[in-house]
Structure 1
């Protein structure tokens, strides 16, 4: 990013950006990605469209930044000293209500990425790839500690297993993911696949 672009983007304070992000997420929940417009965001937040485009460039970037801002911390910040405790700490960063709302939001966005390449690109670049990198870092620490064998065949599929737990809970059980469900899933599926004991 150039110095000029940085200067332009710095005109909105972090507090104001947080307000805008919350409004964007509210609109997403109300109308979905395809029906969300920059006009609607501008009206909801009493902003000018010019300011929104100058700051974020377009709808996809604004939405993904809002999603990233809503995350309850970075995966890379979780380091308890054991893989089982790390996984359970991740699950308990959000209560069941927030998890239900955010899972529904992410499900809608995942559908929208199929017909919006700009959204898919921004989502992969700013949310999916950083979180995959941080999760792999968490797993690498477990390997370094000797908790997981470096050649364990399940290692490349941990991300898929975690996403599957969220994505299929509503489809199969007609219920949202909860802390209890995810904790049980981790102990019954992920940790045994990695050869990690499920008791402390």
Structure 2
């Protein structure tokens, strides 16, 4: 019996070269770009393999299924736009958040729309989407509001505080549907000035 024949499957697997972080990110970027351009259902592992010049077996070996692959790609692109916003003023923090959200709204909302029905059918994909695009934003907005309360700019029991994150996140999703345009920075700052600051008693 040759040594190769005697090798156990786990030993063979351990000798496989691992993907570098850069190569892995190349796969992730490719699949998310294709989802934005073509929609989730049109994207295939074959297509991603061809665009990144790798074998389909490499992708399946790493991620097993397309939903697992896309979920991993979403998690890898987690980058809270509102992290680090702290001007010392709640009103200005909310304006800065609006500018940050507007700067990438076409990219993020395009991805959300392209994932569409698939997110509702796959719980892992849904959870990854929340972890990558929703929860970090909502939590960062809550931190902004909490600091405003701590500075005494807004009463802790102000009834509107609970709804501001949903209000700001909702307008990002709603404008493309209602007006056929993404909510850019200018639109979101005007929204904050007209609909968010007044209800908090800020000018």
Conservation of the 8 A alpha-carbon contact between 1:23 and 1:41: yes
> Is the alpha carbon distance of 1:180 and 1:69 closer, same or farther for their aligned partners in structure 2, counting shifts above 3 Å?
farther
CA gap of 1:131–1:178, structure 2 versus 1, over 3 A, is closer
The change in CA–CA distance for 1:100 and 1:31 in structure 2 (over 3 A counts) is: same
Aligned to 2:184: 178
Alignment partner of 1:78 is 2:61: no
* Cα distance per residue 1:8-65 (max 9 Å; x no partner): 9x93333223322221122102221123223322222123445435545543343344
Among 4, 26, 45, the alignment partner of 2:52 is 45
**Alpha-carbon shift at residue 152 of structure 1 (Å):** 0.9
Specify every segment of 5 or more residues in structure 1 that has no aligned partner in the other structure, as ranges.
1-6
Distance across 2 between alignment mates of 1:68 and 1:80? 28
The worse-fitting range, judged by mean Cα deviation, of 120-129 and 137-146 is 120-129
Measured in 2, the distance between the counterparts of 1:143 and 1:171 equals 33
Q: 1:169 to 1:13 in 2, by over 3 A?
A: same
Report the equivalent of 1:4. none
Q: Which has the larger radius of gyration?
A: 2
Q: Are the aligned partners of 2:138 and 2:165 in contact in 1 as well (CA < 8 Å)?
A: yes
Root mean square deviation of aligned Cα: 2.8
Unaligned runs of 5+ in 2: 1-13
Decide which of 20, 31, 36 is 1:13's aligned counterpart.
Answer: 20
TM-score by length of 2: 0.77
For 1:68 and 1:86, locate their aligned partners in 2 and report how far apart those are by CA, in whole Å.
Answer: 26
What is the match of residue 109 of structure 1?
115
TM (norm. structure 1) is 0.78
**Contact 1:76 / 1:138 at 8 angstroms: preserved in 2?**
no
Aligned to 1:92, what secondary structure does the other structure show?
Answer: helix
Q: Where do residues 1-200 of structure 1 align in structure 2 (5 Å cutoff)?
A: 11-53=18-60, 55-56=62-63, 58-70=65-77, 73-93=80-100, 98-197=104-203
The 2-side partners of 1:135 and 1:53 are apart by 37
Shift of the 11–171 alpha-carbon distance from structure 1 to 2, 3 Å rule, reads same
Aligned residues: 189
Deviates more, 1:122-131 or 1:133-142: 122-131
Write the distance in 1 (CA, Å) between the matches of 2:130 and 2:102.
Answer: 25
Q: CA deviation at 1:194?
A: 2.0
